[in-house]
Chains A and B, each alone.
Chain A
Amino acid sequence: MSTDFFKPEIIPELVWKIIQAFPLTLILTVCSLILGSLIALGIAVLALRSPKVTRGMANGYIHFIRGIPTLILIYLLYLGFPQFMKGLGVDMSGVDKRVYLVVIFALAISANFAELMRSSYLSVDKGQGEAALAIGMTARQGFKRIVLPQALAVALPSLGNYVIMLFKLTSLGFVVGVVDLMGKTRILINITYGSRRLETYLALAIIYWALCFVLERINKLLITRYTRGRRELADGKAAAK
């Protein structure tokens, strides 16, 4: 076996080079997280409204987004949509790639987010909101102080998983040519004419692994923070017994 079969000693250096591209991955993740939440909020509100038409529309949207691979969604919107707009006489060539990606990733996660928002809102007992109204809170106060914190506690574990999912999803952005973690990796491989492919991808895997570990930790901290109310209640009950 020749000596350059596998060189693990160059991985730390590669990790350092690839991590330079982290800011873009972070920006993509955060921006699409915000935009995706807003879209999801709209969908969830539609899904919770009583007329069957809006509920059907929301469900249709959720099923559609869940049925399409994100890779195809990227190609459809990044390459197909401008062609469509060109047919209508609108030039889309001035729009930044990253804007496309943010919108695409936001759409991709909005279905899961909407479903999560709906189910966690419904998981809070109706009596909670009614009790808030009964003691004289306005509907808005009741939602903000009573329903939302409880719904958030229910949603957090899945929310954390979806954020990690979104973070990993941004690795697909390289297909349109942005230099995020994945794009940087591809550049490094092209520079070395593909001679150190395995090591470079391993370095990338290590980076994602470490970053996801951090995200999971943050999620756990948040869960402890937001379920405090429930736990105190449970402890109180145990003490009363």
Chain B
Amino acid sequence: MSFNLDYVQRAFPQILSYLPVTLAITFSAEILALLSGLGIAMLKRRKIPVVRQIIAVFASYCRAVPTLVQLFVAIFLFPKIVTLIYPADEFGTLIPGIVYAVITLGMNHGSFISEIFGAAFDSIDNGQTEAAYSVGMTKFQTLKRIVLPQAAVVALPNLTSLFLSLVQETSLAAIVGVREITSVGINLADLGYDFLETYIILTLIYEVCSFVFGRIFRTLERRVGAFKYRAAASGKRLYRIPVKEENAQ
């Protein structure tokens, strides 16, 4: 076994120092995705003729084309668009690739998130809204107190798995030239042919990230869904509120 421990000691902090970049890509893409997802979901409900078709084509593009290809298309397309709008000094090519990567990943996930949001809102019975109106709540109050808390419970598990896949998809940004943990790792590995060590380090980092984020989201899910348990505990127990059972066998 030729496991180069010296190299691991040297490379590990070097790779780890780029973890903030990976996390920055992940979080900014996720914020963009949530915003655009909400926007697209709302536009979809309006059913405006041309906008609807554009959204459908965009959703189909996001679903059918590999993320890597989307990244490549974006990284060569966006600078041209920017230059077209703002021709001075080829301005588009001056913007670092990481910005384009974030926009691409964010819009891509936004398309999926819009579907999750749409499904979550559809899952809330109309009677809930009507009941809220009938007790005199305003539209905003209804949304905030009645619809959103219930929709969040439905949407969160799907958002979790989408977020975890986003963490992994940031590794693709390495191929289009963004310096984050994967690309730093690849460079270090190529220098001294320490492939096994490098990729074990990278595997570890990604596994730990997935694990930690998975835990955080599971806590969040429980917190957001807490009103169900609370209602069940404080109510007169006239009926049993179904609690999500894992691996029911």
With beta carbons under 8 angstroms apart, the residue of A72, A198, A204 that contacts B69 is A204
The answer on a CB contact under 8 Å between A69 and B169 is yes
Chain B residues with a Cβ closer than 8 Å to the other chain, count: 46
A209 contacts partner chain B, Cβ-Cβ < 8 Å: yes
Q: How large is the interface on A (under 10, 10 to 19, 20 to 34, 35 or more residues)?
A: 35 or more
Q: Does B63 contact A (CB under 8 A)?
A: yes
- Who on chain A is nearest to B70 by CB? A205
Question: B146 contacts which chain A residues (CB < 8 A)?
Answer: none
Contacting chain A: which of B28-36, B41-49, B120-128, B202-210? B202-210
Let me know if B168 is at the binding interface, CB within 8 A. Answer: yes
Task: Assess the B211–A5 pair: CB atoms within 8 A.
Answer: no
B window 61-114: CB within 8 A of A: 61, 63-70, 72-73, 76-77, 80, 84, 87
A67 pairs with B210, CB closer than 8 A: yes
B182 within 8 A of A: yes
B248 at the interface (CB under 8 A from A): yes
**A14 interfacial by beta-carbon distance below 8 Å:** no
* Complex contacts, B231 vs chain A, CB 8 Å: none
Q: For residues 173 through 222 of chain A, which have their beta carbon under 8 Å from a beta carbon of chain B? A: 175, 182, 197-198, 201-202, 204-205, 208-209, 211-213, 216
User: In the assembly, what is the distance between CA of A169 and CA of B168, in Å?
Assistant: 13
With A64-B207, A122-B247, A216-B64 given, can you name 5 additional A-B contacts, CB distance below 8 Å? A79-B195, A80-B195, A168-B66, A209-B60, A212-B65
Q: Is the CB of A87 within 8 A of B2?
A: yes
> Which of B196-244 touch A at CB < 8 Å?
196, 198-200, 202-203, 206-207, 209-211
Return A124 CB to nearest CB of chain B, in Å. 12
- B249 contacts the other chain (Cβ, under 8 Å)? yes
B residues neighboring A (CB under 8 Å): 1-3, 60-61, 63-70, 72-73, 76-77, 80, 84, 87, 164, 168-169, 171-172, 174-175, 182, 186, 189, 193, 195-196, 198-200, 202-203, 206-207, 209-211, 247-249
Mark out the residues of chain A between 143 and 180 whose CB falls within 8 Å of any chain B CB in the assembled complex.
Answer: 164, 168-169, 171-172, 175
Question: Is A205 touching B60 in the complex (CB atoms < 8 A)?
Answer: no
Asked whether A68 lies within 8 Å of B168 as measured between CB atoms, the reply is: yes
In the assembled complex, the CB of B227 is this many whole angstroms from the nearest CB of chain A, namely 27
Q: In the bound complex, what is the Cα–Cα distance between A124 and B196 (angstroms)?
A: 43
26 contacts between A and B (CB under 8 A): A1-B87, A64-B207, A66-B210, A68-B207, A68-B210, A69-B168, A72-B199, A79-B189, A79-B195, A83-B193, A83-B195, A84-B1, A87-B1, A87-B2, A87-B3, A164-B63, A182-B66, A198-B73, A198-B76, A198-B77, A205-B73, A208-B66, A208-B69, A209-B60, A211-B64, A213-B60
